Structure 1
Amino acid sequence: MTRPAPHGVTTRLPAADWEEGLVTGNGRQGVLAHSVQTQVRLTLSHERLFWPLEEPLPAPHTAPALAQLRALLRSGAPQAAAERVVELARAQHPGYARTRWIDPLTGAGTLTFTPAAPAWGSLVRHCDHGSAVVREELPCGLRSEVFVSRADDVVVLRLSAADGVDGTLGLGPIPGTPPTPADTVLTADGDTLALRTAFPRPWPTTPSGYTLTCRITAPGARVEQRGPGRLRISGAEHVLVLARTTPAPSRGPDGFGAALDALDPDFAALLDRHTPRHADLVGRARIRLTPAGQAARPPATGEELLAAGPSPHLTERLVQAGHYAVVCATGERPPTLQGVWSGTHSPPWSSGYTLDGNLASAVAALHPLGAPELMLPVFDLVESLVDDFTDNARRLYGCRGVLVPAHVSTHGRHNHFGPTWCLTLWTAGAAWLARLYWDHYSHTRDTGFLRERALPFLRAAAEFYEDFLTDDGFVPSYSPENTPADSDSQACANATMDVAAVRDLVRNLLRAHRVLGLPGARRWAALGARLPGYRVSPAGELAEWASGAGGLAQTDRHAHRHASHLFPFWYEGDPAFADPRLRAAAVRAVRARLAWWRSAESDEMAFGLVQLGLAAAHLGLAGEAHETLELMATRYWRPTLVSTHNRGALFNTDLCGGFPAVVAAMLLRSREGGVDLLPALPAAWPEGEAHGLCGRGGVVVEHLEWADGRMRARLSAREPVRVRVGLPDGTARAVGLAPGRTGEVAAPLTPRP
């Protein structure tokens, strides 16, 4: 029997700052609700509100020096190679005299309401994940309800109290000093508050500024202007605020200033139009892990949930909360490091799109949990930057195709690198993005997408590697942020990630040609034949560096937050690991990296545990996969059930997508032509059920349940297909599926330790 899930999270803790806010959003606009006992506080943001700070520069022209860079690496001087890139860049443009970052995501402004008669006492804050309404009740009895409409693209705020609403409504910039001086004007005029900011140095790819407009309806009230951005409201039955942030020049239908007069100021009507769209996205897949006998337990607050420690109940709540946050943060663009939210001018790492791990983690659950349309913004972002990626490939390496940098926001030029973080040497980005393109086709079976969007990008990615590969492989190379144990530099040769990602790219190109009936596949098979193989380290683990070059030995360093060499197990898997020796080496690599994560030293970058958990689930290591979930659940969530980057610090949404993805991977493993049910079911989950999980090959697990030593499932597919269904007892069945025709399977249950 399905137990109704608690739709949301409650906390009784006041917010110390915006990072402790409850979140709501429609992807384009976001709201952080971070009230305290004496004031309602809402910080508003917009997905395109990147402050123009760093002038886009051409990527350094290092192609003429490529032979020299390769010679340094082959002679055992990797740090000299990394430093040579910086020297060349600085000689070409004075802007490279310092480390350059991407333009930062910044908040639009903060809307506050201060009651005329505040009180101290209990504060209740609640976020309803089913409707995306955040409700906060202050001790004085004032109630705030806010959501961001997917139907009308507007922030809707209602303030109410039993005895009417009295107080001051204020609008102002987010606290702190802007990264560059800006022309900001605050106005209060009758029923409107507005904040207008003009950026001093916009680029062609950035807004020239923005307007945050708030239209106020206060039936029965006396409204008085109390200075710029402040209105005194007395005797209102309730207060309704409609707010919208509009970057300029406007990308929407309303023009600069975001006219709101056409909207009916009716909270219930606006909510009714919004809720079905939001609820559909968050509700297509459902997972229950709590034993049915515990269904009567009342919902706990976020702080009580986390204090109780790891449990199936906490896991399922974090799946729901994480997926909710990613849905709210996905609009015309995918989530940044902070989703669609920012309450600062200087977020960590500038909070753009980090393509060497963070973004992939944030969107990892969208396909498995049945929201494939929310992946399209990833491809929209990528395709908007292809010209810059093409220029990167030409300038840095003299290659055709595309070269993707690790960090992007308002442009895709390769500007962020240094002598330590030698990111221009990372070339796996395009191949990794190509996997996301293939996965979208594989889950949706949209051949139009495959032909018109995926295949052109896959080809462009492969063209780069055709030109870049040498007789001894990937030279230079980079395994994100890790340094070989026998080296003083992150610069390297033949990172296993490069090998695995390009092997995956080649396989997907060959499959795309078969699906579309196109000639020319031999070209890509020839590229695959040039790739290095995997390497097993002397200790028996899958090595993070497939081979050296010349004087580079490159021994493993397991005490590290990334697990990039496990790329083969984050998605479909590489057929090479049918070799028992390689598979055993992969298992040992997972266990070696997990041993470090158990230590006190492992503090930051929670998505490294996502990488590890996905690999463990794919390899059927139920205990190890479950341990990654426990580490994630107990270290990296606030009582608002929004994740952090470090233990208890730095608002960050990577884990919001990655945590549900690991849970889904433990319940369903999929590839073209086959799925495995409960491939990594831990003993800690003796019973449960899932609905709507989606797999590659267009397979949908409509219903999956397990209890009392048995499992049964009902499957369907998006197109006619015959699927090999692996069962948890080690057997398999071939099942014919099609739209409107389901198949059912059942088997004994064998939970893993």
Structure 2
Amino acid sequence: MNSETKESVTAEHKNNRNRCLWYRQPASQWQEALPIGNGRLGGMIFGNLAQEKVQLNEDSVWYGGPKKANNPDARQYVPEIRKLLSEGKQQEAEHLARMGLMSAPKYLHPYQPLGDLLFYFLEHNKQAEGYHRELDLDTAVATVQYKLDGFQYQREYFSSAVDGVMAIRLTTGKPGGLTFGVHLMRRPFDGGTRSIGSDMILLQGECGKEGVEFRAGLHAAAKGGTLRTIGDFISVEQADEVTLLLAADTTFRSEVPEETVLRQLDQAARKGFDQLKRDHIADYSDKFNRVTLELNVESSADRTEDRGGGGIDPAALPTDSRLKRMQEGQDDAGLAALYFDYGRYLLLSCSRPGSLAANLQGIWNDSYTPSWESKYTININTEMNYWPAELCNLAECHEPLFDLIERMLPNGRVTAREVYGCRGFVAHHNTNLWGDTHVEGIPVSASIWPMGAAWLSLHLWEHYRFGLDASFLEQRAYPIMKEAAQFLLDYMVEDKQGRLVTGPSISPENKFMLPDGTAGNLCMGPAMDMQIVFTLFTACIQASEILAQDAEFRSQLAEALPRIPQPAIGRHGQVMEWLEDYEEFEPGHRHISQLFALHPGELIHARHTPELAQAAKQTLERRLSHGGGHTGWSRAWIINFWARLGYGDTAYEHVKQLLMKSTYPNLLDAHPPFQIDGNFGGTAGIVEMLLQSHGGEIALLPALPAAWTEGRVTGLRARGGFEVDLEWKRGGLTRAVLKPGRSSLCKVYAGAGGAALNVRCGDTVCETKREGNLLVFTAEAGKCYVLSPS
């Protein structure tokens, strides 16, 4: 890099430093390393001097293969389990369910690392000066800079979705100053590495007898010095600049992955690093820059690290120092904005069209036996991964989840038939690369939950609600939604009160206490089940009406709806988690499943259902008073709950708690251990504080905290096909811009007690009417509507 370019980049970083994660030291552990990814190929950058490490992942490197694991005895025991539950024989029902419903084998196989890219630098065992390690969210490029013996060294890293490769460039101001060896290793499951010519090595291996086979290739090019292979290393000697390109593939995608790897490396090498980087940044920034968020920028603009008396601008501090300041009680609205941008960056980096869906760790996993197998947990975690996709104008990032659901569909039909004797499509609380749907695991508290397919199918409906693509609804969304609803129509039974209820089922991972002191998991009709059923049936009815098809099926759903139990209020003023008002075994439990109706559902609304909203508030307060929100993703869900209830200051307090208690130095979510769902749930929660679009209306700044006195956000999306920009000062809306993708009646809620709003389209003041605090007007597709105080 020439001096002019370096100065330009430095100036840009000064202007956009709140969109960088940066540090003054290398990562000493994985939770400090910086993630890069192109949806499919990921790396964790440590930035060590003498022995650098880039930990690698490829999204289809899963151990083992698909399993036909449905319990062959299940179907005959489901009626008996229901009977035992109806007779109050809790332990007997759970004992039989453990044997009669659980699959064999019990657990799905894990997602695993691809391996490590390891560097050994000659003459780097010295103290460096001016060390700087960063991840620029504007460009998705990680950089390490330092000085040794007065000479500047720089490394750049990115993973390109355009070219399918990871690219690394090492440069130095010292002539011939780069001498190192680099190789690929997968300890202890290394299948061997061989050299190809003098500039390439190829790692090969497999993930078990039935698992995928993989290949990873590393290509090197140097300016100055010499390049050769020695053993399974590429040796670079006295070079001025080195470019490394890495590609990987598996038999999940390619019959001969080695051919794919070699082709990608050849094509990328012909392009050269500079063009690869330009194409990568253009592709990434086009998507990332759809949305911008700025919080309290003007009020902190005069505070710099160097000006006495003005305080410290937190954005001038390293990211780990900012986290530490917040843990010490200092506020930092800019860190919340950085966290929001980081969530969008992570989604773009681990879920792209053609990649696999983001698993429990996105794509970044360094363990061969990761916690919970790093798979897809679909009783909240996978769904939470995709909450920001539509809101943050990254709808295409949702597509890998739809692909996963379609892989699950044939398996789910078999499980529905073999386990329950039902039509349609069912899945339980976990799935994997191959879309397995059986009753996975051994704990009754988690495994016997036949609602995974129903909840996942609602993501297709949400995609339609934001984009209004009728062909997507007809060809992809509605057929899957219909099969998930068909299963539930067959699966539900009538209880003694004539209600239709699911069961056997559970309220995910929570237990209740019977009057005799017995702890129970298994039940009939838990609140979350019934809320999901009602939401799905309602969505299917609306979809069939939009598509003008399936009138008979629509009639069956409409007949069932009034018999589905609705959210109820219990003795403590809380939303009941079960059909009976049981005491909870663990009042501070991390799952708050009975509030699905509040978020992501819409059955509980802050203004439309005030009694239930108050009960939801009481539910949250009880959970939190007993230590709830102690995991990252649970805290993230709580942010969304409080935002939906309209409590902005409380929601922001939980944003701060998420950062203080459940965030690692690299800003990845600490469950603990790392799970990426907290990052995505927190990102979605920040949007919900600024913009909501449920209950048939768009709400502007519905939960704005007092701490965010001024700010602006652009490019957010609202249901109904709208894109929305917002500006505010002193806690009040100053300007909103709505861009409809389709002509429709628009209802806007701008907050009780707020200033009256004018609506303009160009120079024309639009005709509006008011319904309480709602502003109602007709919006035409392709036009821009500006809302501002009178």
Give, as a single letter, the amino acid of the residue that structure 1 aligns with 2:217: T
Q: Paired residue for 2:494, among 467, 471, 494?
A: 471
**Equivalent residue for 1:218?**
222
Instruction: Tell me the alpha carbon deviations over residues 50-94 of structure 1, each in whole angstroms, 9 at most, x when there is no partner.
Output: 12278552345411111111122222233332332332368xx8x
Residue 368 of structure 1: CA displacement?
A: 0.7
**Equivalent residue for 1:591?**
621
**Equivalent residue for 1:373?**
396
The alignment of Structure 1 onto Structure 2 pairs a total of residues equal to 720
Matched, 1:562 2:591: yes
**Equivalent residue for 2:667?**
641
Q: Paired residue for 1:501, among 501, 507, 532?
A: 532
How high is the TM-score relative to the length of structure 2? 0.87
Show structure 1 runs of 5+ residues with no match. 749-753
Looking at structure 1, the residues matched to 94 and 613 of structure 2 have their Cα atoms a distance apart, in angstroms, of 33
SS at match of 1:365: helix
How high is the TM-score relative to the length of structure 1? 0.91
SS at match of 1:262: helix
Matched, 1:36 2:48: yes
Matched, 1:131 2:168: no
Give, as a single letter, the amino acid of the residue that structure 1 aligns with 2:77: A
Residue 128 of structure 1: CA displacement?
A: 0.8
Alignment check: 8 A CA contact 2:519 2:585 kept: no
Matched, 1:261 2:269: no
Matched, 1:482 2:510: yes
- What RMSD in Å do the two structures reach over aligned CA positions? 2.4
Looking at structure 2, the residues matched to 199 and 562 of structure 1 have their Cα atoms a distance apart, in angstroms, of 33
**Equivalent residue for 2:295?**
289
Instruction: Tell me the alpha carbon deviations over residues 550-591 of structure 1, each in whole angstroms, 9 at most, x when there is no partner.
Output: xxx565743100111110121351168834332321221122
**Equivalent residue for 1:340?**
363
**Equivalent residue for 1:536?**
569
Within-5 A mapping of 1:312-351: 312-331=333-352, 332-351=355-374
Q: Paired residue for 1:608, among 628, 634, 643?
A: 634
Alignment check: 8 A CA contact 2:18 2:334 kept: no
Residue 454 of structure 1: CA displacement?
A: 0.9
Looking at structure 2, the residues matched to 71 and 418 of structure 1 have their Cα atoms a distance apart, in angstroms, of 23
Residue 416 to residue 595, structure 1, CA distance change in 2 (3 Å): same
Instruction: Tell me the alpha carbon deviations over residues 480-528 of structure 1, each in whole angstroms, 9 at most, x when there is no partner.
Output: 1111144423222221110111110011111112222222321211121
SS at match of 2:286: helix
**Equivalent residue for 1:385?**
408
Give, as a single letter, the amino acid of the residue that structure 2 aligns with 1:344: S
Residue 411 of structure 1: CA displacement?
A: 2.7
Alignment check: 8 A CA contact 1:425 1:478 kept: yes
Within-5 A mapping of 1:13-24: 13-24=25-36
Residue 597 of structure 1: CA displacement?
A: 4.1
**Equivalent residue for 1:169?**
181
Residue 133 of structure 1: CA displacement?
A: 0.7
Q: Paired residue for 1:236, among 221, 234, 239?
A: 239
Matched, 1:152 2:163: yes
Matched, 1:573 2:602: yes
**Equivalent residue for 2:473?**
450
Residue 275 to residue 256, structure 1, CA distance change in 2 (3 Å): closer
Give, as a single letter, the amino acid of the residue that structure 2 aligns with 1:566: L
Alignment check: 8 A CA contact 2:445 2:508 kept: no
Give, as a single letter, the amino acid of the residue that structure 2 aligns with 1:321: Y
Within-5 A mapping of 1:24-173: 24-52=36-64, 55-88=67-100, 95-96=104-105, 100-118=106-124, 119-121=126-128, 123-138=131-146, 140=148, 141-163=152-174, 164-173=176-185
Alignment check: 8 A CA contact 1:193 1:214 kept: yes
Q: Paired residue for 1:547, among 559, 576, 580?
A: 580
Percent identity, aligned pairs only, is 24
**Equivalent residue for 2:541?**
510
**Equivalent residue for 1:693?**
716
Alignment check: 8 A CA contact 1:699 1:718 kept: yes
Looking at structure 2, the residues matched to 726 and 200 of structure 1 have their Cα atoms a distance apart, in angstroms, of 56
Alignment check: 8 A CA contact 2:227 2:235 kept: yes
Give, as a single letter, the amino acid of the residue that structure 2 aligns with 1:227: G
Give, as a single letter, the amino acid of the residue that structure 2 aligns with 1:216: A
Matched, 1:432 2:458: no
Residue 418 to residue 271, structure 1, CA distance change in 2 (3 Å): closer
Looking at structure 1, the residues matched to 584 and 678 of structure 2 have their Cα atoms a distance apart, in angstroms, of 29
Looking at structure 2, the residues matched to 679 and 360 of structure 1 have their Cα atoms a distance apart, in angstroms, of 23
**Equivalent residue for 2:325?**
308
Residue 448 to residue 61, structure 1, CA distance change in 2 (3 Å): farther
Looking at structure 1, the residues matched to 184 and 605 of structure 2 have their Cα atoms a distance apart, in angstroms, of 58
Give, as a single letter, the amino acid of the residue that structure 2 aligns with 1:120: Q
SS at match of 2:578: coil
Alignment check: 8 A CA contact 2:70 2:419 kept: no
**Equivalent residue for 2:6?**
none
Residue 367 to residue 111, structure 1, CA distance change in 2 (3 Å): same
Q: Paired residue for 1:733, among 758, 767, 775?
A: 775
Looking at structure 2, the residues matched to 128 and 507 of structure 1 have their Cα atoms a distance apart, in angstroms, of 43
SS at match of 2:660: helix
Alignment check: 8 A CA contact 2:467 2:721 kept: yes
Residue 475 of structure 1: CA displacement?
A: 2.3
Residue 747 to residue 492, structure 1, CA distance change in 2 (3 Å): farther
**Equivalent residue for 1:667?**
690
Residue 710 to residue 654, structure 1, CA distance change in 2 (3 Å): closer
Instruction: Tell me the alpha carbon deviations over residues 706-742 of structure 1, each in whole angstroms, 9 at most, x when there is no partner.
Output: 4364432111111001111001235221132233212
Looking at structure 1, the residues matched to 692 and 278 of structure 2 have their Cα atoms a distance apart, in angstroms, of 37
Q: Paired residue for 1:248, among 251, 254, 270?
A: 251
Residue 48 of structure 1: CA displacement?
A: 0.9
SS at match of 1:144: strand
SS at match of 1:366: helix
Looking at structure 2, the residues matched to 15 and 695 of structure 1 have their Cα atoms a distance apart, in angstroms, of 39
Instruction: Tell me the alpha carbon deviations over residues 341-372 of structure 1, each in whole angstroms, 9 at most, x when there is no partner.
Output: 22221111111111111111111111111111
Show structure 2 runs of 5+ residues with no match. 1-14, 303-312, 496-500, 754-772
Give, as a single letter, the amino acid of the residue that structure 1 aligns with 2:321: E
SS at match of 1:683: coil
Alignment check: 8 A CA contact 1:700 1:717 kept: yes
